[in-house]
Chain A
Amino acid sequence: MTGAKEHTGDYAHLAPLFGELAALPESDPKRAELRETLVTEHLPLAQHIAARFGNRGEPRDDLTQVATVGLINAVDRFDPERGSDFLSFAVPTIMGEVRRHFRDTSWSVRVPRRLKELHLSVSAASAELSQRLGRAPKPSEIAEHLGMTKEQVYEGLEASAAYHSVSLDEVRGGADDEVTPLRDRIGEEDPALEGVEYHESLEPLVRELPERERHILALRFFRNMTQTQIAERIGISQMHVSRLLSRTLERLRRRLQDEQNP
């Protein structure tokens, strides 16, 4: 992480802004402005981390985009009261985001570049539209937004089926020695699962799930949040939530069946 440290000095002047941001009430319009400044000014950090992960078969633009999402998450979650400085919080957060991108979104089959790009644009448009509309968009709305036909949108939505389904437990080589910030955020006791009455056979199986899957499962089936709401809460795309849920349910079903017919 020496690369990131070289830049520490460049960001020092931004540190007081976090205190200002934290001091502002939720409703203050200045919050958005400050948040944007913090994100924009820290962008080189995200780009720097994206560059480190370059040349691994993922287009640089995607990586920069993913790293920027990580940066935004870091800005939103950073608590200056905790005493640590922003960079030591942000770097692992951004790296975690990029690493998850590699783990979760590598394509299992050779998917044409056009289809990948279609999938990414549909995914990005969905996120933007849900934000704007305050609800999940319809394919027709995505089509209109992107200036595409509905058929192209279908194709983009369906392309996610070609994504690699690797378990998040599987650790790929590379930068895996860093902390996964998600682990810290969610921890062993998932707040979304508090007060949930478990079916007896289910509890041990849910406990075996990776944190993020467990959290998503809890939010969808015990907290009754929509996939779009979950996507926003966790900071990943709705399509990604969809994939993870589908995989988790399949895994639980399989395990429940194994228990019933040993």
Chain B
Amino acid sequence: MGDPESTLTEEAELVDQVELRLGAQLEHLSVVRAVAAHIAMGADFDIDAIADLKLAVDEVCTDLIVRAVPGSAMDCVFRLSPDRIEACVRVTSHNDDLPKRDSFGWTVLTTLTDSVSTRLESVDGHYVIQVDIAKNRTATT
């Protein structure tokens, strides 16, 4: 708000969306985790899905914080639709290596969520690494 360079989403699109911008520091993990849990609880996901989303967000953020340029920011966007919660986390890095698909962290993410994808963009000599995850509402029949 008030910042013309802001990369934040236009207000009209914010209805079912929560955006967080914080320093890429492990100290802030608990904030992101709490937001993720509250969104999932508010959406009345079952307690397994809530716990899974929390663990997955933890995993993504920890991994990205370690890759981030020291002192830079981490952006997290949570999008809520009737049947799923999406979380997109983005940091700026000096390196272009993405989370590896044969790593244990990747196994953790794919087990805990319903979709995981990564994106890499080159911006002004840096790299922007983004990890998108989505957790579906568990069918309760």
Task: Report A's interface with B, CB cutoff 8 A.
Answer: 126, 133, 135-140, 142, 150, 153-154, 157-158, 161, 199, 202, 220-221, 224, 226-228, 238-239, 242, 245-246, 249-250, 252-253, 256-257
Contacts and interface: CB of A to CB of B under 8 A. Distances in A.
B38 A154 contact: yes
B52 A227 contact: yes
A153 B42 CA distance: 11
Contacts of A161: 30
Chain B interface helix/strand/loop/mixed: helix
Contact of B48 (A158, A238, A253): A238
Given A154-B41, A158-B37, A220-B111, A137 B47 contact: yes
Contacts of B54: 242, 246
B58 A221 contact: no
A226 B48 contact: yes
15 contacts: A135-B140, A136-B138, A139-B44, A140-B44, A199-B102, A221-B108, A224-B111, A239-B47, A246-B55, A246-B58, A250-B62, A252-B104, A253-B62, A253-B63, A256-B105
Interface of B: 30, 34, 37-38, 41, 44-52, 54-55, 58-59, 62-63, 66, 102-105, 107-108, 111, 138, 140
A139 B44 CA distance: 6
B30 to A, nearest CB: 8
A242 B140 contact: no
B107 A136 contact: no
B120 to A, nearest CB: 20
Contacts of A257: 66
Nearest to A231: B48
A228 B48 contact: yes
Contacts of B140: 133, 135, 138
A61 B49 CA distance: 30
A246 B51 CA distance: 9
A157 B104 contact: no
Interface of A is mostly: helix
A151 to B, nearest CB: 9
A121 to B, nearest CB: 14
Nearest to A228: B48
A106 B55 CA distance: 22
A257 to B, nearest CB: 6
A239 to B, nearest CB: 8
A153 B50 CA distance: 13
A245 B54 CA distance: 11
Contacts of B108: 221, 249
A138 B55 CA distance: 18
Contacts of B41: 139, 150, 153-154, 157
B50 A157 contact: yes
Given A199-B103, A221-B107, A221-B111, A245 B47 contact: no
A34 B55 CA distance: 40
A249 to B, nearest CB: 6
A253 B50 CA distance: 21
Contacts of A135: 46, 138, 140
A199 B46 CA distance: 31
A126 B55 CA distance: 19
A215 to B, nearest CB: 16
Contacts of A226: 48
